[in-house]
Every structure is written in C-alpha cells, then in structure tokens.
Structure 1
Amino acid sequence: MRGLWAEEVSYSYGDFGIDGVSLKVNPGELVALIGPNGAGKSTLLKLIYGTLRPHEGRVLVDGRDVHRLSPRERAKLIGFVPQNHVPTFPFRVLDFLLLGATPELGTFGAPGEKHRKRALELLKTFGLEEYADKPYTSLSGGQRRLLLTARALMTSPNYLLLDEPTSELDLKNALLVLQTVRKLANGGVGGLLVIHDPNLAYLFADRLVLMKNGRILAQGKPGEVFDEKLLSEVYGVELRLVDCSGETVLRPKLEV
C-alpha cells in the first residue's frame, strides 16, 4: 500500500492544536500546504515525519506506522528539510552533505565512493559545487537551505517533506528548489511542502491543502482551491484572481 498519509491526526500544545486532520500524499504527487502564519502547517509536517507524535490518529508510510520505525528506517523512506537549522560545527560542505548518507551505512560504516559521487552531483544540481571544501558555517542562509535540501536527497527517499524551502532564497534559487522538487515528483517521489506564496504553490503543486487554526479548510487541485472569497477570508486581506499571460495569479486589492 503505497503512500504517505495522516489519518485523523490530532495534537495540541498550549492554546493551539491540530484537530482531526487527514491528508495523503501519493507517490509522484507534489502537495503544497498553504495558509496564514500559525495555521499549523509546520506542526502537521513534523507529525507526518515523526518528529512529533500525535495524541490521536496515526501516520503511515507505505503501510507502515511512522512512529514504529527506527530513525534510520524512517530516514531511508522520508527526506525532511526543516524550516530552521543552526550550524553547530564548521563541517566542510561536502562532509555535511555526506552526513545525509548515514541511514544507508552500518553502525561503523563510512560513506563510500558512490555516496561521494551522489553528493557531488547534488552540489552541482544546487549550484554549490564551488563551496564543497568551504566550512558549512561560512554559507549564507539561502545557501544553507539549498544544502539542507540536497542532504535530504542523499538517500533517494520515496517521500520528501520540506518546511518553507524557499525562505531566504532569491527568486532564481527559489525556482531552482521548486523545479527540482517538481522533477522528483514527476519521477515518482511524493512531495509535501509548506510554502507561504500561494502563487508558487499554484504553479508547481498537483494539489493544494489550505489550513487555518489547525484545520484543513479545503484541498484539491490548485484551480479548485484558488477561490477569491475563501482565500480572502483565510488570509484576512481582499484578494483577486487575475489572468497573466494565460496563468492565474492571486494578487491583493491595492488601495492607492
């Protein structure tokens, strides 16, 4: 039974909670979680990856309970790119990337030539090859995000979860990440990403999931979720759908 899905997942802390959320990501499908700050998108992503354990419900990956997998088993199946990562040691960029191969290695194993080749290919994909021998701590915030995305791909996972993968990136590199994830989905990888820009979600995702206050308000194909009234209410600002050279674009109503 292929797929990554949450079944009636609930989780609460303080005054906030995820309330009975069900969501499935199919192999070869790219799903985007959208919604305002504090909607619960990042929390849901952590529940699906297994960083957090739901108080109710369960999360399955290809028919297996995520929370019954060892961290090594889980990392082989699911790649995860966190929203924030604070470097603690000045690893070489190449060595930091090779750490992503750890789930494939034995207890005392070390990365081999195939891992090094894979790492170099990923550095090239994300335009970081010239930084291979530089300290990870010397990279900019955007470059670190690119490297974190590359590291999540070291084990060629079946599913990829990304929490705000375009934050701190300029337009060129934001598109690079999204185009890479889109290609992975076209090749059979299931992708789930949290993204703040609904327009980018519309352009790249197969399905949008709109959240607010820990609940899913709507999900479906981008054209089905892009509803002016619904999105205006959720985001708290008057929005308009406009046609831009054949593409639908969401834009705020400007007061001048």
Structure 2
Amino acid sequence: MTLLATHRLSFYIGRRLILDDLSLSIEPGDNIALLGANGAGKSSLLRLLLGLLKPAAGQVLLDGQPITALSRRAVARQLAYVPQSHVPSFPFSVAQIVAQGRLPVTGLGQAPGAVDADAVQHALNELGIEHLLERPYTELSGGERQLVLIARAMVQRARLIILDEPVTGLDYGHQLRLLALLQRLAGQGLSVLSSSHRPEQALASANRVLVLHEGRLIADGPPSAVIDSDLMQRLYQVAVRQIDTAGHRFFLPC
C-alpha cells in the first residue's frame, strides 16, 4: 500500500512558482534519491511532504489521509526527518539528542526506559559513532552532528525517513557506510527518501530516482534508466562524457 503520495502539488514562495502540478508516490521499501540543481525545489518538496509547509494547490496524503488532518505526533510516528544542519542552543549530550527521537513513541512527560536506551545504543552502533554517546552535541563537527541526527531518526521507528542531503559534511568512509545503511533499512521494508546533488551516489545505492527540474518532476524510475549524460547536461548545464563499465556508470568532463 502506498505510504506517502502527492496529488497535483503546487507551491509558491511569494510570487515565484517553486513546484508545479507535482504528483508522486512512495511505497514501502523504496530507497529514493531526489535529484535536482540548486533552486529546483527539493527542500521545499521535502518540507511539504512532512506537512511543515502548506501547498498552494493539491495535497499530501499519508496512508491515504490528508496530512493536514493528522496531528504532529501522528505524522511523527510515520515520518522521520533529517535536516541538513541543526544546532541547539543548549549543550545536550549526544545520548539526549538521539533519545528525542523516541518522543513520538513514548510521548512527553515519560522518562526514557531500558527499551529507549537500547534503541539509542543500537542506532549509534549502526552508524559507528557509539564513542560520541556522552559528548556535548554542540562540540561535534558538522559531519558528526549529521550522523547524530540520522541516529535520532532511526530510533523514531518511523516508516519513512526523509533526509535533506545527508552526506553533506561526511568523510568518504562515513558516506559509504551511511549509503549502505540506508540500503539495509530499505531492504527491511523501511522507506527512504534522500535529496542529493550527487547522481553517482544515486546510481550506487538507490533503487529509484526522482528528478526535479524548474519545479516539475521530469523523471521517476530506476537510476540506471534515468541518469545519463543528457540528464546531467540538462540539470547542471555541464557537458560530460558517460562511461559504462562492469555494471557501473561514470561521468567525466568533456
């Protein structure tokens, strides 16, 4: 059954049309890369899907219900969000930040229990950052903070994780480990939607790609069928040479 869908969604910032007549659906087990140049509307689309912005036309449906009709807690039990950056004003520990992801499950006013602590530890172990458990979140590097936010989303136990450029600030090793983790989560039936500027990562790890261009959804399908040199030139105004070898696709400047 479709988990999340949009129907003829349009959105403006002031008088500028950001998204135009956009319809899509996300199914359980999808590992989707959302591609588009700067200003294509990726971040706006993610916030609309989460119910954080109101469309000018159309609607977002979560489990077949308009997301605007649901409480924030009901939405949070289904959807988890990892923003590009987040710096709180108070120096919470990493354990406290990650444990915040349990609030849609436990509710406010209930002290974390053993199950919550186990969920936090498991998420940190999966991401290879268990050594940060007691560190103040405000003292971490940008890449470390990003991994902590992903751990927070994981303990939320939502059915869909939405990530806004999740590899930004991560070193190469953590990028590869994160992409592998997202593949594993999708293989377990979780849905993943990640915005990205990196088509090569979509080719390597996603099973589906959505392409935004000038506010419209211009492609939706398997990465190997969608991402080619023509698309790269259309999106990014660069001429590239496409190389297909041993089941992999690469792009080099012309």
TM value normalised by structure 1:
0.95
What is the CA deviation profile of residues 138-161 of structure 1, one whole-angstrom value per residue up to 9, with x for unaligned ones?
Answer: 111000000001101112111110
Q: Distance in 2 between matches of 1:251 and 1:64?
A: 45
Secondary structure (helix, strand or coil) at the match of 1:172 reads helix
Structure 1 stretches lacking a partner, 5+ long: none
Judge which range, 89-98 or 243-252, deviates more: 243-252
- Superposition map of 1:167-182 within 5 A: 167-182=168-183
Alignment of 1:190-229 (within 5 A): 190-229=191-230
CA distance in 2, matches of 1:29, 1:250: 25
Q: Secondary structure at the match of 1:167?
A: coil
Partner residue in 1 for 2:2: 2
- Three-state SS of the structure 2 residue aligned to 1:156 is coil
1:12 aligns with 2:12: yes
Aligned partner of residue 152 in structure 1, secondary structure: helix
Whole-angstrom distance in 2 between the partners of 1:107 and 1:128: 27
Identity of aligned residues (%): 38
Partner of 2:120: 119
Alignment of 1:122-137 (within 5 A): 122-137=123-138
Count of aligned residue pairs for this structure pair: 253
Question: Residues of 2 paired with 1:48 and 1:178: CA distance?
Answer: 22
- 1:173 CA drift (Å): 0.6
Q: Could you tell me which amino acid in structure 1 is paired with residue 136 of structure 2?
A: P
Quote the residue 2:94 is aligned against. 93
| Separation in structure 2 between the aligned mates of residue 8 and residue 194 of structure 1, nearest angstrom | 20
Q: Which residue of 1 aligns with 2:157?
A: 156
- Contact 1:198–1:250 (CA under 8 A) maintained in structure 2: no
Quote the offset at 1:130 in angstroms.
1.1
| Post-superposition offset of 1:217 | 1.5
CA distance in 2: counterparts of 1:107 and 1:226, whole angstroms: 44
State the alpha-carbon separation in 1 of the partners of residues 102 and 235 from structure 2: 40
Q: Which runs of 4+ in 1 moved over 4 A?
A: none
Name 2:50's counterpart in structure 1: 49
Q: By how many angstroms is 1:87 displaced?
A: 2.2
RMSD (Å), alpha carbons = 1.3
Deviation digits for residues 119-168 of structure 1, max 9, x if unmatched?
01111111211111111111110000000011011121111100000000
Please, which runs of 5 or more residues in structure 2 have no aligned partner?
A: none
Could you give the per-residue CA deviations for residues 205-248 of structure 1, whole angstroms, max 9, x where no partner exists?
11111111111112211122123223212210002210244311
